[in-house]
Structure 1
């Protein structure tokens, strides 16, 4: 009997403690008006959405730049190079030359591609006006030999190659690039539109902008660039400019027109 009485007493004590704790929790609990939690959650969502909008506006805002900036120089079939500046050039390990100011981002891009299993390979960098003249004339003469008139031959060559003095390669800011796998299998047709559909071509189209490079002659923009689609031809403009240009599917010509309006 004593044991039962002791157990009953302990049980009642425990229940009493639990009851008192529950009452205290109820009495001291912070009062939250009905609908407040929903309002707070809605406010947080609104703030998050506004933050995302602000970030989007920043990414979509036109970067600062001047048409006279070295990295925005325009050279093309309708824009002759004003001055062939060779003092900014540097020679790479492969013997080719680039403007020394783009060597670091170029090297970083090669390393990033390699980490993704793609070995990029430089095909052509800086070309002097005299060398461009040699290439252009050789292509024209080859077509003349095949039966084309000189006028017709030049017109055809201009679709894929520029006249001396009008090539971006004179600037040292541009290069032709593919990957080693493509080079090993398509030696006879190295610079082909089909490169766009390869793993290397797609990697460049996606990631080159992260290092300041743009696909200079995109597909569907031939009337603007006056050059056929070249998925191997990339040009340095700087990271912010490159991201904006690629995000808005612009050519350098169209982008510079926007800068003129600011």
Structure 2
């Protein structure tokens, strides 16, 4: 092979690898005009829907009475549900569904050579959260009823190699969790928005397309929900799938119209509205 041809070949390979790396580490999201359809079905929504789902805002201002998930399992006692990571204690519990999503994320990290994860905390009952608050105080814990850990959607992730602020596992989570439906809930640059100190270990499942849009717009959950309330409807294509996300303020039972031909999920915001995510 001539030197010039060999050089061009190397350049082409480098360009291809750069494109693949860029695509892998950036949001695959395209925004477009809201959908307009004439053929719709009515859907009844109720005030109770405001407090159910995967987009619930839980903090010092907005509390919960029950878990968002009903499939909570003790992971130590159900090892068949877990993946290639450790459990810090024998009482770690989490939603079975969210555990499966977490396992998928850990497999993705392994492909990048990052494989020293452990779960240090998962679901907490009201009593467990209250006890933690009494032991740690308000600077390090939230009172019972006001912690994301009571949702079954959040977990604290650690590394056997050091603190998450310094370990490769912490860096990987911060850069890649959104690709698997998770978000770093309390990032360092958003403490003024969340009201919570930087927690590089705390992740929360919100699901796609929401995690991808939040990553693309550099939103934490508070900002994302405010954005949806303002826009009321956004449409986007995420990873090749078409989504239409609609926000409705709800103070009493009402009927809304859902386009035919779309699947949908419903989540409340735990404030005064619900989000319907249409997709096909």
Same fold (TM over 0.5): yes
Residue 75 of structure 1 deviates from its aligned partner by 0.9
Name the CA shift for 1:61/1:88 in 2 (closer, same or farther; >3 Å): farther
- Mapped to 1, the partners of 2:33 and 2:165 lie a distance apart of 28
Residue 67 of structure 1 deviates from its aligned partner by 6.1
**1:230 maps to which of 199, 203, 214:** 199
- Mapped to 2, the partners of 1:176 and 1:214 lie a distance apart of 12
Name the CA shift for 1:203/1:61 in 2 (closer, same or farther; >3 Å): farther
- Mapped to 1, the partners of 2:51 and 2:130 lie a distance apart of 26
Secondary structure of 2:226's aligned partner: helix
Asked if structure 1 preserves the Cα contact closer than 8 Å seen for 2:181 and 2:208, the reply is yes
- Mapped to 1, the partners of 2:218 and 2:138 lie a distance apart of 24
**1:59 maps to which of 30, 40, 57:** 30
Residue 260 of structure 1 pairs with residue 229 of structure 2: yes
- Mapped to 1, the partners of 2:172 and 2:34 lie a distance apart of 24
The higher radius of gyration belongs to 1
Name the CA shift for 1:210/1:57 in 2 (closer, same or farther; >3 Å): closer
Paired position in structure 1 for 2:184: 215
Gaps of 5+ in 1: 1-55, 140-156, 183-189
Paired position in structure 1 for 2:253: none
Residue 202 of structure 1 deviates from its aligned partner by 1.0
Paired position in structure 1 for 2:216: 247
| 167-176 or 200-209: bigger deviation | 200-209
Secondary structure of 2:161's aligned partner: helix
Paired position in structure 2 for 1:22: none
Residue 128 of structure 1 pairs with residue 108 of structure 2: no
Gaps of 5+ in 2: 1-26, 36-48, 80-86, 233-280
**1:177 maps to which of 157, 162, 182:** 157
Which structure's residues are more often helix, by fraction? 1
Q: Using structure 1 for the length normalisation, give the TM-score.
A: 0.61
Asked if structure 1 preserves the Cα contact closer than 8 Å seen for 2:161 and 2:167, the reply is no
Asked if structure 1 preserves the Cα contact closer than 8 Å seen for 2:68 and 2:153, the reply is no
- Mapped to 1, the partners of 2:33 and 2:131 lie a distance apart of 39
Residue 223 of structure 1 deviates from its aligned partner by 2.4
Paired position in structure 2 for 1:40: none
Paired position in structure 1 for 2:60: 77
Paired position in structure 2 for 1:199: 168
